């Protein structure tokens, strides 16, 4: 069994157990259908099953051995860490301005800034993509799924609140 497969199968099995046991505090199914715990319960079971499959597929010799040298594509490219940190910063900013600015404007700003500063796309493409994405997600969540989204100060100003 390769060392990485051994540790990852144990880790994801424990994650699956945590999700499954944590979900048992809530109702899995109620009279209207799936309850609050349905998704975490199913996700926990999937984690457990897949980690057991990984564990059983790699038992082989029964001893833990080091895996061969990782291929270039399997290694962490530390030059991309900066991009991950930028995404996280933008996500944290997104979280804090979401209620105040509102859904549509926040999505627009988030997509545009990520495309311009992280993905290094052109301003024109970033603006067009962010407008389309904000419009499509608004239609999907607000109109099709009837999810109440925060309007933000700009919409409230337009409406006259």
- Among positive and negative, which fits the CA dihedral 8, 11, 15, 21? positive
84 and 58 both lie in a single domain: no
Residue 71 covered by a domain: no
As for how many domains the chain has, the answer is: 2
- pLDDT of 141 higher than 90: no
Are residue 87 and residue 154 in the same domain, yes or no? yes
Query: Model confidence over 33-76: pLDDT tens digits?
Result: 777 788 889 899 999 999 998 888 877 655 555 555 555 555 66
- Residue 12 belongs to some domain of the structure: yes
**pLDDT greater than 60 at residue 80:** yes
Domain hosting residue 14, numbered range: 3-66
Q: How confident is the model at residue 132 (pLDDT cuts 50, 70, 90)?
A: very high
Length of the chain: 161
Q: Average pLDDT of 15-20?
A: 90
Average pLDDT value for residue range 133-149: 86
């Amino acid at each position: 069994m390769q060392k990485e497969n051994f540790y990852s199968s144990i880790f994801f099995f424990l994650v699956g157990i945590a999700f499954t046991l944590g979900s048992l505090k809530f109702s899995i199914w109620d009279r209207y259908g799936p309850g609050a715990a349905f998704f975490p319960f199913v996700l926990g079971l999937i984690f457990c099953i897949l980690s057991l499959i990984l564990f059983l597929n790699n038992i082989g010799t029964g001893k833990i051995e080091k895996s061969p040298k990782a291929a270039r594509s399997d290694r962490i490219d530390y030059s991309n860490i900066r991009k991950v940190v930028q995404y996280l910063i933008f996500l944290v900013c997104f979280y804090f301005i979401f209620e105040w600015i509102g859904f549509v404007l926040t999505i627009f700003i988030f997509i545009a800034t990520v495309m311009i500063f992280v993905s290094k796309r052109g301003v024109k493409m970033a603006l067009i993509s962010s407008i389309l994405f904000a419009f499509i997600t608004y239609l999907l969540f607000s109109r099709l799924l009837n999810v109440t989204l925060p309007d933000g100060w700009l919409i409230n100003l337009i409406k006259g609140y």
